Structure 1
Amino acid sequence: MGYRVIVDTQKCIGDGECVDVCPVEVYEMRDGKAVAVNMEECLGCESCVEVCDQKAIIVEEQ
């Protein structure tokens, strides 16, 4: 089982909190926004969801 990570670029303010908190480096910053570049590494811990004040991240089981 894996996880799908969705970043709403309309809500993302690019503070990089998700990049900093992710234990498996799912995210990187591109053009001032967070992008899920290593989605297959996602553990489903939702630390990124909890740290995002803009509610720009959704983590779903696949």
Structure 2
Amino acid sequence: MFKVTVDKDKCVGDAECVDVCPVDVYELVDGKAEPVNEDECLGCESCVEVCEQGAITVEEV
């Protein structure tokens, strides 16, 4: 299981994480990425790699 955190101060809402996530963990909510399906996270960290702002962290719990 993984804990997905989005730093709202860093997130610019470009939806790169939404597009790259293979299991649809993210949705844009009020112009910011929100991990709405965190339970689906595979821990692949594609979202971390694609986020140019460094707003996303994925931790194994």
Q: Normalising by the residue count of structure 1, what TM-score does the alignment of the two structures yield?
A: 0.98
Residue by residue over 1:2-50, the C-alpha shift from the partner in whole angstroms, topping out at 9 and shown as x without a partner, is 0000000000000000000000000000000000000000000000000
Percentage identity across paired residues of the two chains: 69
Q: Which runs of 5+ in 2 are unaligned?
A: none
Instruction: Quote the Cα distance in structure 2 between the aligned partners of 1:23 and 1:13.
Output: 21
Instruction: Quote the Cα distance in structure 2 between the aligned partners of 1:9 and 1:59.
Output: 15
Q: Which runs of 5+ in 1 are unaligned?
A: none
Alignment of 1:1-62 (within 5 A): 2-62=1-61
Q: Which 4+ stretches in 1 moved above 4 angstroms? A: none
Kindly report the root-mean-square deviation, in angstroms, between the aligned alpha carbons of the 2 structures: 0.2
Instruction: Quote the Cα distance in structure 2 between the aligned partners of 1:50 and 1:35.
Output: 17
Q: Normalising by the residue count of structure 2, what TM-score does the alignment of the two structures yield?
A: 0.99
Instruction: Quote the Cα distance in structure 1 between the aligned partners of 2:52 and 2:10.
Output: 10
